[in-house]
Amino acid sequence: MSPLLSGIAGLWVLPVSVKSMEKSRPDKKRLLERYHSRLIALERRAPLTAETYRIEIRKFLDWLEGEENGRDENAAPSLTGGRNDFTKYLSYRRSVDRLDSRSVAKAISALRSFGRFLEDEGYAGSTACADKLESPRPRYRLPEVYSQVEVDGLLGNITVESPLGLRNRALYEFIFSSGLRISETVSLNLTDIIFDEELAQVRGKGDKERIIVFGPDASYWLKRYLKEARPELAGVRISKALFLNKYGKRLSRKGMWKNYNRIARKAGLGTKLHTLRHTFATELLAGGADLRSVQELLGHADITTTQIYTHVDQSRLRDNHNKSLPNLKNWSAANEA
């Protein structure tokens, strides 16, 4: 029997019988509920992060149960291990789910967090084993960005004759103008917007608050939405949410993504909504904004996350240079003649 499953942490060093270990196994559902509560209350994880971690650990425990079913019942359990279970699970996730290095790193973060939780629950050694997991070196891929022509085509392609169309125009103008994450945008309330100064108060990852700015185009479409579309969407409902769905409730992340998917396909562009945020950051740096300011606007905890956009800007410069090089050669040859 797996040492990790038998005690969830499963790292006792004293010999115990399989039967007694079965009795000591805590209820998985209750354990996950306590773990999720810890993520929110003690580790102050964002709700989305806490749910992602909970799902990862549920997969881990399900995998362990599957491992147990395939083992010899009479085999003596090894009660000094633990790290093997973590490592084998990650290998399983890599091969079956084909996780990339970033997804593996997220899974390891969840397992480390779960190890700390188990340590506090009284399963000695859990943290040590989880902390020994080595995160893979991230393979940074330059984020996709739109050109100004593509952004204009995307936003201009949104019909604004209906309340939902007007909401969509205001919504995506606002995201492009402010660089907000999807979760940050859907959590905005009416009272978070300060039109006189074109500012908004945002709650980001880890429930951290920051002030962001938005431009006059976003301000124009937001005002139109609030005056012409939102009252019709709200109907008799009273909601503090800034962006509403067709039922008058707060717009969800899924609803926002589905709308964007349709609009982006119509414009002949990729369907990743995060590309608007990438484009916002890249345009700021290209316009001369300093890295620290961009970091604060994006809500990045670590400036190295923001630095990826400097590589994007350099890549665009190289592309423009390569495109212009034939013309420059032709111009030079003509002058020499």
Return the active site residues.
181, 205, 274, 277, 300, 309
Whole-angstrom Cα distance, residue 189 to residue 186? 8
Burial letters for 62-86: b for 16+ Cβ neighbours within 10 Å, e otherwise?
ebbeebeeeeeeeeebebebbbebb
What CA dihedral angle connects 177, 180, 181 and 187, to 10 degrees? Answer: -120
Cβ neighbors of 281 (< 8 A, separation 6 or more) are 179, 294, 298, 306, 309
DSSP H or E segment with residue 193: strand 193-194
Angle at 208 between CA 202 and CA 211, to 5 degrees: 35
Query: How far is residue 322's CA from residue 191's CA, in Å, rounded to a whole number?
Result: 48
Instruction: Determine the Cα–Cα distance for residues 317 and 328; give it in Å rounded to an integer.
Output: 15
200 and 176 in contact (C-beta within 8 Å)?
A: no
